Structure 1
Amino acid sequence: MIRVLVVDDSAFMRKMITDFLAAEIQIEVIGTARNGEEALKKIELLQPDVVTLDIEMPVMNGTDTLRKIIDIYKLPVIMVSSQTQQGKDRTINCLEMGAFDFITKPSGAISLDLYKIKEQLIERVIAAGLSQAKKPEAASAEPLTPKRPASAGFEKPKTKSARQAVFIATSTGGPRALQKVIPNLPKDLNAPVFVVQHMPEGFTASLADRLNHLSDIQVKEAENGEEAKAGCVYIAPGGKNMTVIQDGGRLRIVLDVHDTASRHKPSADYMFRSASRLSDYEKVAVIMTGMGSDGTEGVKEMLKAGSVKTIAESDESCVVFGMPKSAIKAGLIHDIKHVEDIAASITSCVKKERV
C-alpha cells in the first residue's frame, strides 16, 4: 500500500485529489495539508511514502516546501502545477530540484475538470511509490549488463563524408537528468542533438530556456521546418512528435500531432524511427530515465539500419529505470552509463573535425 499525503491550499482540490487516489486499491491517502508548513508537520507525524504538492500556496509555497522535503525526508514528490507561464517555469525548477514528476491542473488553481488528469495522477503516484519501495533493494540488486546488439551496431559508413547526429529520449526524472547531460556538451559539438522529453504542451519551452541558460551549447524548442545545425540541441515541443528528415545535404525538423502506439506525444519511438532512415549519418541514440518502454522499438529500427551507438542510463542514476531497462533487456544497448558520464560518452562518439 502506497501512503500518500495530499497538499493543496484549496479544500476542493484536496477533496478531489484525495477521492481520486483513495479509489485506487494500491493507494491510501493518510492525510492532507493546506500549505507547506502544515505539510512538513504532517510528514514528520504520518511518514507518507509519496507527497502530492501544489506549487502555488500561501505561508510556504511548493518550491520552498519541496526543497525541505528533499533535504530532510528524501521522499518522492508529485508537483501539481498550473498552466500559467509562471507555473510552468516553477514546475521546471521543481523538477530540476528533484521532484519525481508533475501533473497540471487543466483549468486553473481550482479546476472543476480535474477528472481529466485522474489516470495520470494515479499512474505517477504508483510509480513514485514503487520507486521508493525499491530503494533498499537497489544496492543488492544484480546490475544489468549490456548484451552486444545482434544487429549492425556502431559501424562507420563507408563514405568519408559521413555526418553525425545525436538522439536522446527521456521521461520521468528527465529534466533533472538532462541538466546533468546537456550543459556538459561542448558548444562546438559536431552534431545536432535531438531530444524527446515526455511533457505536455508549453512546458518544453520553459525546459529549453532553462537548459540554454545553463549550457554553452545552444538549446531551443524545435520548430517545424527548421534546419538542424551542429552544435545545437533541439527539444521536441510538448504535444507534438518530432521527426528528422534529409533535405539535400541538410537535416530538417518536421513536427506533427499524429497519435502514436506508445500514447506519448512527443514519442521517442517516432523520433528514433525517423533517425533510422538517415543515410550517410553516424548516429548516437541515448535512452535515459522514464516509465514504460518508449524508445525500444525505435532503437531496434536504428540498429537494423546500422551506424549507431546506443547508450542507456544506469539503474543507479535513474529516477525510474523503465525505458532504459526495456532497451537493455531487449539486447539493444552497447553501453550503460551513469547520468554523470553520458555527456562524455556522447562527445567521445562524435568526431571533433568537420569533414
Structure 2
Amino acid sequence: MAIKVLVVDDSVFMRKLISDILNEDEILEVVDTAKNGKEALGKIKELSPDVITLDIEMPIMDGITTLKHIVNDFKKPVVMLSSLTKEGAEATLKALEIGAVDFITKPTNIFKVGADEKKKEIIQKVKISSKVKILNGKLNSQHKIIRMNNYKKNRGEFSNLIAIGTSTGGPKALQAIIPHIPKNINGSIVVVQHMPPGFTKSLAKRLDSLSEITVKEAENNERIKKGYCYIAPGDYHMTIDEVNGKELYIRLNKDRPVSGHRPSVDVLMKSVSKVKSMKKIGIILTGMGSDGAKGIKSVKDNNGFTIAQNEETCVVYGMPKSAVEIEGINKILPLEKIAQEIMNRVGV
C-alpha cells in the first residue's frame, strides 16, 4: 500500500523537484502539493496524507506555525526542509522540539537536491517518518534537576565519562536527559548527534540554555572538564584521547564517514572503550540505522555500563535495537528514566 505524501513549499521549483524525487520510489505517492501553510492545513484535512514535507520559510503561514497546527490538530508526521544557515538551524531545532520527526537540509546549490545521495536521503527520511506515531507535541520546558544527597566538593576532579549517541529524534531525547543533570555531577558527557555543520552548534546552545551543566560544541584538543557536555561538531568525527593515564582530551578529525556518518557514534564509543582511568557509561538513544552498536558493545566489553532507550519511547527504534541485538547493552530504559540512572551510577 502506497505511503501518501503532501509536499509543502512556496517554491514551484522545489515542489516539483521534491515531488518527482518521492514519486520515483515505488511505495511513495505524492497526493498533492501546497504553496503555504494555510493551503496545507486544508489539504491535510481533505486528503489525510501519511506524512508531510514542510518548508520552514513560507508566506501567509510559515512552517513553524503550520507545524504546530499539524502536531496538535492532525497528529501527522512531518519532515522539515531547512536551509543550511544559522537561522535555518535554529528554526529546525525549534521544529524538532514542537514535534517534527526529522529534517532535510537544502543544498546551497539548489540543483544538487537532485543528486543521488540527496535523493536517497529524502526518500529514506520520508519513508521512516511515515511510520512514526505522533503521540505528543512539545516537550515540557520545566526541567527538574536530579539532586543527590552525597554532595562532595572537589576541585574539578571527576571519575565518570558518559558517552551518548543518537540520530533521528535525538534533539528532543537529549532535552529529556541533559537539562536534568546537576552541575556538580561527578563526570563529563560526550555526545554524537547526527547533524550537519552549524546545526550542532545551535543544538549545543539550546541545550546549554536549558541546563545547569555547561553544554558546548566540542573543539579539537580541548581538555574534558567536570560538569561539561561536549557535542561533536557536524562533519567531524570525535574521539577521546587519554593522556598521562588521567587527563582526557577531545580529538576531532575528518577521516572517512563510517556507515555513512561523520560524526559517527561508533568512532566515539570505540575511543571511549579504551579509557582506563575512569568508569564508563555508554548510552544509545533513538535513531535510524545501526551506528553505535559495535562501539557501545566495546564499551560494555571493556568494563563499561551500557544503556539503550526502549522501543516505546524512541522516535525510531533502529540504533538501540541494533545494539541490543548484538548483546551490547546492560540495561534498556524508557527515555524519562535515563537521567536518573546516570545519576544513580555516577553521583556528585
- The two structures have a TM-score, normalised by structure 1, of 0.88
Aligned counterparts, 1:313-352, within 5 A: 313-352=309-348
Residue 301 (structure 2) aligns with:
304
Map Cα deviations across residues 67-115 of structure 1 (whole Å, 9 max, x no partner): 110011111100000112111110011111111100111017xx22211
CA distance in structure 1 between the aligned counterparts of 2:285 and 2:279, rounded to whole angstroms: 20
Aligned counterparts, 1:52-201, within 5 A: 52-107=53-108, 111-116=110-115, 117-132=118-133, 163-201=159-197
CA distance in structure 1 between the aligned counterparts of 2:243 and 2:64, rounded to whole angstroms: 44
Residue 263 (structure 2) aligns with:
266
Q: Shift of residue 132 of structure 1?
A: 4.5
The 8 Å contact of residues 260 and 270 in structure 1, kept in 2 or not, is answered as no
Residue 142 (structure 1) aligns with:
none
SS at match of 1:196: strand
**What amino acid sits opposite 1:330 in the alignment?**
I
Residue 231 (structure 2) aligns with:
235
SS at match of 2:88: helix
The 8 Å contact of residues 162 and 282 in structure 1, kept in 2 or not, is answered as no
The 8 Å contact of residues 297 and 329 in structure 2, kept in 1 or not, is answered as no
CA distance in structure 1 between the aligned counterparts of 2:182 and 2:158, rounded to whole angstroms: 20
Map Cα deviations across residues 254-290 of structure 1 (whole Å, 9 max, x no partner): 0001114311111000000000111121111100000
The 8 Å contact of residues 242 and 255 in structure 1, kept in 2 or not, is answered as yes
SS at match of 2:261: coil
Q: Shift of residue 328 of structure 1?
A: 1.3
**What amino acid sits opposite 2:108 in the alignment?**
S
**What amino acid sits opposite 1:339 in the alignment?**
L
SS at match of 2:111: coil
Q: After TM superposition, what 4+ stretches of structure 1 lie above 6 angstroms from structure 2?
A: none
**What amino acid sits opposite 2:263 in the alignment?**
P
Deviating more after overlay: 56-65 vs 335-344? 335-344
TM-align CA RMSD: 1.5
CA distance in structure 2 between the aligned counterparts of 1:79 and 1:70, rounded to whole angstroms: 13
CA distance in structure 1 between the aligned counterparts of 2:49 and 2:227, rounded to whole angstroms: 44
CA distance in structure 1 between the aligned counterparts of 2:228 and 2:159, rounded to whole angstroms: 15
Residue 279 (structure 2) aligns with:
282
SS at match of 1:312: strand
Residue 251 (structure 1) aligns with:
248
Q: Shift of residue 162 of structure 1?
A: 8.5
- The two structures have a TM-score, normalised by structure 2, of 0.90
CA distance in structure 1 between the aligned counterparts of 2:76 and 2:36, rounded to whole angstroms: 17
Q: Shift of residue 8 of structure 1?
A: 0.1
**What amino acid sits opposite 1:66 in the alignment?**
L
Map Cα deviations across residues 155-175 of structure 1 (whole Å, 9 max, x no partner): xxxxxx982100000000000
Question: Where do 5+ consecutive residues of structure 2 fail to align?
Answer: 136-156
Residue 156 (structure 1) aligns with:
none
Deviating more after overlay: 181-190 vs 111-120? 111-120
**What amino acid sits opposite 2:64 in the alignment?**
T
Residue 18 (structure 2) aligns with:
17
Question: Where do 5+ consecutive residues of structure 1 fail to align?
Answer: 136-160
Q: How many residues matched?
A: 323
Overall identity of the aligned pairs, in %: 47
